[in-house]
Structure 1
Amino acid sequence: MNKVRVLVVDDSAFMRKLISDFLQEDEQIEVIGIARNGKDALAKVELLNPDVITLDVEMPLMNGLEALKTIMERFPRPVIMLSSTTKEGTENTIKSLQYGAFDFISKPSGAISLDLYKIKEQLISIVKTAVKANLKNIHVKNTKIYPQQKVRYSKIDTYREESTISSVKSKLNKTIVCIGTSTGGPRALQHVLPKLPAEIEAPILIVQHMPPGFTHSLANRLNTLCAITVKEAEEGEIVQNGTAYIAPGGSHLKVLKSSNSLVIKIDKSEIRNGHRPSVDVMFESLSMIQDYRKVAVIMTGMGTDGTEGLKRLKSTGEVSAISESEQTAVVYGMPKSAVGTNLVDKVEVVDEIATSIMKYIRN
């Protein structure tokens, strides 16, 4: 088997050495070069042609964000960002994911992390997954977002017959949308949420696998692109139609019924499927809400999170399930697992998911 050839980019010699040593502990990975800043990285990418790049966000001369833009334009390939949790670091990390980075890892204790060993296994796993990524869906030039775009309806159903959408008008007149995603998710959300109209008659709950400190920046970034309101979910708030609530990194997002309202509960209960927040936890929470129709969406991501929760949703209420297609998913893990249950009603390319959501809500 060919080894994954990696270029390590960081302005700290100590961090370059540490990252390189960690990666080369795995027999399937070979570090073929190092670079000390963005300009150096561009020269090394052209010279060495690595399979995967680890790229520090904050560097002198040319930072990681500037280097990433050029890499994705000239030498597109999977790039993993290493980020600090400073305000500027988190904002730039979210931008990098929407500019084409495959994924990111948060340094445990700042730019020079003596305790980097804490994320060693995560780093190795992401590098080995990145080389298999659906690269054409990471590198998309000149992606345009139209916040006030009208939702149009496709006449082509890519999975089941159109009649399955709703042959009989539902007796339930309230709907909630729930979305689960992971690797590649920020960019996928950028393709879906801006196409939802401000007057959508449903709240939207979102689990995006992320560590603490980053989901606030993600929500703020998406909010600038959308007609709906996008925010990080807060404990105790009442969900409203036309608002998308993103689970805070490091915490589960649940919903409880209180009188005639739905109330958000944020907690740090046990990790599920290796994740907190977990899609399964959110879906299972919603399965307890009986007087709402649900539209469940599972998009790009590694693993199987969301599959068990989808089973629970389908067995306890009226649920329409949408999965992102292999054609557009950066990582076809979570969507593939969901499709394998035979409970998914539609498989859609990412640009048609919003159309399907609206179709289910309005039927």
Structure 2
Amino acid sequence: MKMTIKEIAKLAGVSQATVSKIINNYDDVGAKTKKRVLQIMDEYGYRPSYSAQSLAKKITKVIGVIYAGKINANFNHPFFVEVVSSFKKTMGSEGYDLLFFSNEKFHKSDENYLARCQHYNVDGCIIIGGEEVEPSIYDLDKSEIPCVGVDIELSGKKSAYIMTDNPQISALAVEHFYLLGQRDIAFIGGKEESVISKQRYQGFIDEMKTYGLKVNPEWIVYGDFFEDSGYEKMEELLQRPSIPKAIFAASDLMAMGAIRAVKESGRKIDDFSFIGCDDIVASKHIDPPLTTVKQDKEKIGKMAAYILNDMIKEKIDQTSIKIDPELIVRASCGANKAG
């Protein structure tokens, strides 16, 4: 019977990640553990199909696609759909196929991306940042498999990451409100513990201070980047003793939810201004069309593909890229709404 890494790990009483590290000669595994695992591998005649050292020589033209974190956190978000679509098109032009990894068992201790990537002999991976990132993501990050992260900071010697300049996103929104005479500005962030949300919050605070604007703590609320949370958080803001008239939401979907909440409250939508983030396709079709800070999703996907391809071919080393955002002005936030 042919043994697997999972079975070797079970017999040795260690994780699959530990077995993978021993196979790939990592130096952070104890001598006793390494000896026990190697003895079991020898006893059962286990031979890995290939090692990390041979990975660079064995090109399979397969790229792993991993959405790190809770299942469905990003699969159905328009921003990431467009990024991955651009990535797929560019990698396809280079002759690669994509293999999507399931993370439905992200909470299981035996979930191991490194072992799975080795099993499928992928040439590299794109890792999409989400919430509650699995620890095994960072085993993959530290491995010899080239990885590029989108909205997740990677630090491995064969890793890179790319994201929009998140503080600048918030700065553009606050600046636009200020130039329109808006002063009562609220912030609806994504999950408070999210790295992306923290960066956009800090950009918001810094830009408010730049213009000497008062930050009202009651107007700082957090959702989850999706529409329903924007609706719920706007309902909360409408119950405050003083109500903000300018709302910056850290995603277009949350801004859309906020607009819906104002409409359903019976208040005049023209009394409020909204700015979202992402410039998803739907943002130009809602009523009123949404002013937003655009993330260049096509560029992010294309650049992620080129970086990963160059890393696979060993043309470049570890790097990080920040993409400039762009303000897109529409009717949800116009000059006629100055407060």
TM-score (norm 2): 0.35
> 1 or 2, which has the higher strand percentage?
1
TM-score (norm 1): 0.33
> 1 or 2, which has the higher helix percentage?
2
Name which one, 1 or 2, has greater alpha-carbon Rg: 2
